[in-house]
Amino acid sequence: MYRLCLLGCVVFLAACGEKAPDEGAIRVSVKYGSFKPACVRVEVKDAQGHSGQTDIPASQFKNADKKEVLVAVRRQADWDTSLSVTVSSYKAAPGAGCEGPFVERHESEGPLAIVAKKFTPFNVMLKATDEDGDGYLAGVMWDEPADCQDSNPDVHPDIEESCDSRVDLNCNQRVGCQEAGCGGQTCNDGDACTTGDHCEGSGLEAQCLPSQTTKCTQPTGVCDAPQACNPNTGVCEATASTVGKSCDDGNLCTDTDTCGADGKCGGTARTCVTTGQCVENQGTCNPATGACVFTSRPNTTPCQDPLTCTTGDRCDGSGNCVGTPGTCVPQPCYRVKQQCTTSTECEYEVDLNGACTTSGGVPGVCLATAECSPFPYRPSNFDPGAIAAADIGELKTTANVEFDTTNSSWNPAGAVSTAATLKIVTLSQGNGNPPVLLIPVRTLELKGSLTITGPSPVILAVYGDATVNQSILATGSIVNPNAACGTSQGTAGTFGTSTGGGGGGGGNATAGGDGGKGYDNAQPQGGGGLLRPSGLEPLLGGCPGGNGGGTASNPAPGGKGGAGGGAFQLSVARTLTLSRT
């Protein structure tokens, strides 16, 4: 094994597998890349001031194929057991040792302990490179200019750089005209579209500027591409394609005009096709107008116009489909608004107040909703459309007559010549109110007065015109107590000391009066009924008065309160004439 001693002893190792001495040692590994240092210096020192160094020229590197220098450092006996190590690389070694400034230097992070029978490692990877082999280094620690482009041997410090250069060849961070002495000198800006290039300015502000720049004449055609000078050739060339650009070829019979690859504007020929019934399906385009022209079919050609009211549709020889107008027939409660013509459809409108017949066979009048109703208005308390035609009779009297709602009887019966045609319809009013008796008639002829008696109100519904020239009277026989009247009926008087108080009067449109207090003015009388709410529905008569005060046997029961008034409703579908002489 080759040894070189200093202070302690530096041993060159042939391989990493060398056995450590008994007292231990520091194994220094120095690896390098594309730059092989001319010399490597290893320095050691301890905390007591002992120090020493060894220079290893490149000629003594033992692992050149691995680009690694392995060194074992052994201490002297009087040195500390921990040593600080510094490794430096040099570019020059003219003699047996390293000379000049170091390229880079690496120090251990504090003292390295030496352990018996072991190697303490200190590994260094040199960063300096010379990839292009031009002798100028990159990644160095010294103050010498570094190679700014280590992959190109034509770029390194100290090389001569001309004013034409567009690359920093000498690594001084100046390019071409920025070099010293280039002011006013000719140069080349690399643009073939310029002439008379020269340097202007100084230092980092200097530029290579042209005296003249080529200007390209621009075309005027919509499909001609704009021109620009190619800096590589100095020739004016198209800068963009106009293919697909929208244009107008001046032909009204083409669509979607665009620029083509030949620089011309062209479009797609317009196709004239129709589904018209009275012209040929394939036509031609008129270049003067751009409109499609179709040949008309003969006037014997059948067709179908858009109107439903025409028949016998035929082509007219001019490309039109024409039919024969028909007759417009309106539905019930409608009338014709627009007659059918060769160009218009039948139109209808509601025949307001027109005569019609309901689904039940009853003569009626047309409403705004086009419904047929026996009455042109909605009468209160009954539905005129719910009455069948067979149930509508005639009321003709020959003298004064009375109608009793208790049993729906006429008195005298012979005074009503049409009694057999009459149907009395009972309608419930709910809530305890007395039912209504509805008498539907198409004819009303009274030759005397009509008096209505009994507990129920009466509706006389005339499905037509009516003339009333006789009195119609309504009385009631609703007795006390009556649930429907409630607080509107009079309350009963009281009896005491052989004296009875009178019952209170019934209430209707106004409140009823209180009853009398008896002959000695001592007995409490019955209170009057409260005012009864007025309205057309339900149809109600007056409420009865309260009973007088009395006992059942001695001296006598109290008198019954007076019955309430009657209620009558006359509803006429057409004209009502009132006449009394």
Model pLDDT for residues 413-467, shown as the tens digit of each residue: 999 999 999 999 999 988 777 899 999 999 999 999 999 998 889 999 999 899 9
Looking at per-residue pLDDT, the higher value among 430 and 350 belongs to 350
What distance, in Å, lies between the first and last C-alpha atoms of the chain? 165
Q: What is the CA radius of gyration of the chain?
A: 65
Lowest mean pLDDT among 29-33, 41-45, 198-202, 547-551: 547-551
**How many residues are listed for the chain in this entry?**
581
Looking at every residue in the chain, the average pLDDT score rounds to: 86
Digit-coded pLDDT (tens) for 226-273: 999 999 999 999 988 899 999 999 999 999 999 999 889 999 999 999
pLDDT at 412 over 70: yes
Is residue 488 within 8 Å of 506, Cβ to Cβ?
A: yes
State mean pLDDT over 304-318: 94
Is residue 368 within 8 Å of 350, Cβ to Cβ?
A: yes
pLDDT at 407 over 90: yes
Coil, strand, or helix at residue 323?
Answer: strand
pLDDT at 35 over 50: yes
Diameter of the chain measured on Cα atoms: 170
What pLDDT does 6 receive?
A: 44
Share of residues in the chain with pLDDT > 70 (%): 83
- With 0.75 as the threshold, say if the pTM is over it: no
Write the CA distances from 556 to 37, 122, 495, 504, integer angstroms.
155, 145, 10, 19
Strand-pair partners of 334: 350
pLDDT at 9 over 70: no
What pLDDT does 535 receive?
A: 74
Is residue 68 within 8 Å of 52, Cβ to Cβ?
A: no
pLDDT at 40 over 60: yes
What pLDDT does 506 receive?
A: 55
Please give the Cα distance from 395 to 338 (Å, whole number).
44
What pLDDT does 39 receive?
A: 95
- Tell me the two tokens of residue 184: 């006013």
What pLDDT does 513 receive?
A: 60
Strand-pair partners of 292: 285
Looking at per-residue pLDDT, the higher value among 397 and 547 belongs to 397
What pLDDT does 1 receive?
A: 33
Digit-coded pLDDT (tens) for 506-522: 556 566 566 555 555 65
pLDDT at 311 over 90: yes
Of 39, 83, 84, 76, which is closest to residue 58 (Cα–Cα)? 39
State mean pLDDT over 544-570: 69
Confidence of residue 65 (pLDDT cuts 50, 70, 90): confident
Domains and CATH numbers, the chain: 3-125 (2.60.40), 160-213 (no CATH), 373-474 (no CATH)
pLDDT at 8 over 50: no
Digit-coded pLDDT (tens) for 234-246: 999 998 889 999 9
